[in-house]
């Protein structure tokens, strides 16, 4: 693996498709080199190739954010290629089943609970743990965590997912306190229902959930992954240098915390 020089490097977990891919494209549009990190390495490679075709500089890496060994190896691979990470977007997350996402908590198996929490919450902790010394060395950085507007609602049948995303919101504030002294900003985006590839492929989400959510929105227009990119780029820009520990809701006004 040959080293590449880059003025700024962004790491996006879960970056191979959907919202994560849109974040990667947003960084490339700003001239930022991108690390496409995903548990599906083949898909990450395809996305990195697409980014390079539009003039970007991209590296695909395989990672399971729930595994410390995997996260550590990911950062070793990044440093051997780019030598820096300026921006971290903790986007990787899972639901139990996008086609049948609602399940009473008393029917949850412990292994299901643990898997959701380990990816959605522990994954954020692990990536922040290993990016901290890298950002400290280069004088600072920006971390953007992805939570959910659902943490202000509370729905039946999604305890594991919503609990994991609620944890991310709290972690964002705690991390902001701890990392501020190193000139590292930590903020979060809380998206509402976004028509990503995963959602679009689910008949249940599109035919049952989408109409209900849209009816409750102040702005009754479909929300796509591209609608989240502007907020993410703002939180990674110098214009947000005095903003940290905040969670910004992007959901068309269905929740106004």
CA 210/CA 83 separation, integer angstroms: 42
Contact indicator for 249, 155 with CB cutoff of 8 Å: no
SS3 labels along the chain: CCCCCCCCEEEEECCCCHHHHHHHHHHHHCCCEEEEEECCHHHHHHHHHHHHHCCCCEEEEECCCCCHHHHHHHHHHHHHHCCCCCEEEECCCCCCCCCCCCCCHHHCCHHHHHHHHHHHHHHHHHHHHHHHHHHHHHCCEEEEEECCHHHHCCCCCCHHHHHHHHHHHHHHHHHHHHHHHHCEEEEEEEECCCCCHHHHCCHHHHHHHHHHHHHHCCCCCCCCCHHHHHHHHHHCCHHHCCCCCCEEEECCCCCCC
Out of 23, 125, 130, 161, pick the active-site residue. 161
CA 74/CA 81 separation, integer angstroms: 11
Give the neighbor-by-neighbor strand order of the sheet with 9-13: 58-62, 33-38, 9-13, 87-90, 141-146, 184-191, 247-250
Among this protein's residues, is 161 annotated catalytic? yes
Q: Which residues are catalytic?
A: 161
């Amino acid at each position: 693996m040959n080293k590449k020089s880059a003025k700024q490097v962004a790491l996006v977990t879960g970056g191979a498709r959907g919202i994560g891919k849109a974040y990667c494209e947003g960084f490339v549009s700003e001239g930022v080199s991108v690390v496409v990190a995903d548990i599906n390495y083949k898909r990450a490679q395809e996305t990195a190739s697409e980014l390079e075709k539009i003039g970007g500089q991209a590296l695909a890496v395989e990672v399971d954010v729930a595994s410390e060994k995997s996260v550590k190896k990911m950062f070793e691979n990044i440093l051997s290629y780019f030598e820096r990470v300026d921006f971290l977007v903790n986007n990787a997350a899972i639901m139990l089943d996008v086609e049948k996402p609602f399940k009473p908590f008393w029917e949850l198996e412990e292994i299901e609970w643990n898997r959701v929490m380990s990816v959605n919450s522990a994954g954020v902790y692990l990536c922040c743990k290993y990016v901290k010394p890298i950002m400290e060395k280069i004088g600072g950085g920006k971390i953007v965590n992805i939570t959910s507007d659902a943490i202000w609602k509370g729905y039946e049948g999604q305890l594991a997912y919503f609990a994991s995303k609620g944890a991310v919101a709290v972690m964002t504030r705690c991390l902001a306190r701890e990392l501020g002294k190193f000139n590292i900003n930590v903020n979060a985006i809380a998206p509402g229902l976004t028509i990503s590839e995963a959602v679009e492929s689910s008949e249940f989400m599109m035919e049952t959930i989408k109409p209900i959510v849209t009816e409750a929105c102040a702005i009754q227009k479909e929300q796509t992954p591209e609608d989240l990119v502007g907020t993410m780029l703002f939180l990674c820009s110098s214009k947000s240098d005095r903003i940290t520990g905040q969670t910004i809701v992007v959901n068309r006004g269905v929740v106004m915390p």
